[in-house]
Structure 1
Amino acid sequence: MLLNGLLMIATFSVIIFSTVYAIIGYRYFYGPLYILPPVVLVLFLNHKGKFVAAQNTYLTFSLLIISYWCYEGRGNGNEYTLIALATTATLICDKRSTVVLSNVLCAVVFVLYKIYDSYTPFTPDPVINYAIVPNVIMLNTVAVISFQIAFFRDLAKHYNQKLNDKNVELQFAEEELKLSNTELNLVN
């Protein structure tokens, strides 16, 4: 459920980014759209009940696409989306080893990109405002992480309320049982 929600937000975000990039004349305006085919595949796998395959597909393709975005859109701040991917992996994966592997891979890609970026001359695209675009991508990353936190907070509240309701029912049943036992003791 969380993964599907994140995919819908990602789809909405990339359509907005691509549209804005096309309007301002960015030559790689189609770059964000690369995420859409894996989104469709993940939604299909989730629909078929292949949840682990959907998670692995999401993590693998997202890491590959974000790595490419870092290279293609240098200076845009695309590397910040690795933070959102790492937190997503932490939330959607059941196995701790998968979470650790995903987070390590995100960190490795981030470090490799930073090394590449520091040693390879950068030719800015004159159409891109490099003072604004990285901030927009960072804000988008923060929005995704905030959505994840809010979703899990609401989920925790929901299950806490259900647990409290069951405790009240249990206390009521215990009181009825005590009353029944008292009545049985009086009869005997």
Structure 2
Amino acid sequence: MIEFGNPRLQLRGNGMNFSKTKTSTFGLAVSMAATASSCLASNQSDNLADTEKIKQLNREQQQELLLNKNAEPLERLAVDQYLVIAPGGRVETKAQAVVGVGSLDVRAVEFSQEQVIFYNDTAVLVGKIDIDGTMQPLGKFPPMKFMATFVRTEDGWKTLSRSMTPCAPIAIEHGVC
């Protein structure tokens, strides 16, 4: 039982009574607000650090895969159940994505408009990717939007899925993609 009108704060539980002199309701409120603010600041800084980790993980995987035809970061940093919707609309497993590296001829990759959201141990990164190059048999890469999902594991963040969507010509004309 907590009585705020009394000069004494009483706590009771499991048959034991505790009594402590109350300094003020204001002091208690300030203490609770400071604790909540501290926890919130900690979560924000954790999210800031995780945001940068997610962006870096995405860039490392994509640059190595696209520019260097090196699938090792994808093999190491993606879960076994990884799925991707490739630019042509084909759904590929992790193994298929690794094999598909051979169909690429890429000279440069640029990421922009990146945003990360978190929900528990899941992060979703969305953004724009511009790839200077080609993918056989589809030809030149158009500007694309992408979405990548990451999960926090005991080994750190891992990629769960990715989708790459070519921008529609009208969206490019209007500057929204």
TM-score of the superposed pair, with normalisation by structure 2? 0.31
Structure with greater helix share of residues? 1
Structure with greater strand share of residues? 2
